[in-house]
Amino acid sequence: MNGKPPIAASAAPQRPQDGRTAAADAPAASPEAGLAADTDADAAADADEREDWWSFTKFVLKVVVVVLVFRTFLFAPFTIPSESMLPALWKGDYLVAAKWPYGYSNLSMPFQAPLLPGRVLEALPERGDVAIFKHPIDGTDYIKRVIGLPGDTVEMRGGRVSINGQPVAQELVREFDLPLSANTQCVRGGFEVETSRGTACRYRMARETLPSGRAYTVLDFGATPQDDFGPLIVPRDRLFVMGDNRDNSQDSRFAAAPGGGVGLVPTDRLVGRASMVLWSTDGSAEWIKPWTWFTATRWDRIGEGL
């Protein structure tokens, strides 16, 4: 031993006394790395937003397709703008019509697109059907009751209809009271009365029963020139139609004219068969007064079958 103290090994670096770690000695993240992370996050957000819009667009397209299929092949809504079909249908009624009973044509397609050759699954109406058709001249939607089919001989004498020489049974049943409103008026043949529901117009009502046994009610205002008609043989591919409000209806008793009579209706103008009243309003509702939407509703007519 030479008496010299041993040489000590190199000491490890000391940790800072204030508790900080040596991480501060690690290299700092570059600005480029932070920018790349932000870019990835923005791209992911944009992708999610595009996916949300595409999902919403697909949903809307599916709804549109379902609605178009429903309206084209099953049911379609229509409104009643006049009183020619009283007492079955009132002005202000919103009804649904079945599209399949008479087959399909271009008139069944959205915007009447020329997609079908002729009429597909064609079928004639039955006597007594309430049919919706396009006016032979101006193309307006009309609604009338089918009385005569191709080959039938139709005649009217003194307001009584005959089909193929057989008078249609008609009997007075009771009076019909039509509540007066913005959508209804009292015209010739009726008179105003006070009822539990307010002022109404009272008409004479009768029940007609076709040879098939099918029955419906009609209104008669008394003697009018159109109470005598025919006889007329309904040609092939034509229909003889009448309004239930016999003295207030432009129907097959009148020559086809824009906004007027319909003449003999071609079967290829058929659109559908009226089925049920979905909604009805007396015309007193105002858009700026939402509560009137309910007070104007004729609740007792909703669901009325035809």
**Region label for 81, one of left (φ > 0), alpha (ψ between -120 and 50) or beta (otherwise):** alpha
- When computed from its CA atoms, the radius of gyration of the chain, rounded to whole angstroms, is 38
Q: 280, 92 in Cβ contact below 8 A?
A: yes
Task: State the Cα–Cα distance between residues 142 and 132, nearest whole angstrom.
Answer: 6
Scan for tokens 């079967």, then name that residue.
Answer: 267
Residue 291 and residue 306: Cα distance in Å, rounded? 29
Determine the 3-state secondary structure of 77 from DSSP.
Answer: strand
Residue 127 C-beta-side C-alpha neighbours within 13 Å = 23
The CA distance from 243 to 248, in Å, is 8
Amino acid symbol at 300: D
CA atoms within 13 A on the CB side of 67: 8
Out of 84, 108, 249, 280, the active site residue is: 84
Q: How many CB atoms lie within 10 A of CB 279?
A: 17
With a CB cutoff of 8 Å and minimum separation 6, the contacts of 81 are 91
Is 84 catalytic? The answer is yes
Q: Which of 144, 249, 252, 280 is catalytic?
A: 144
Positions marked catalytic? 84, 144
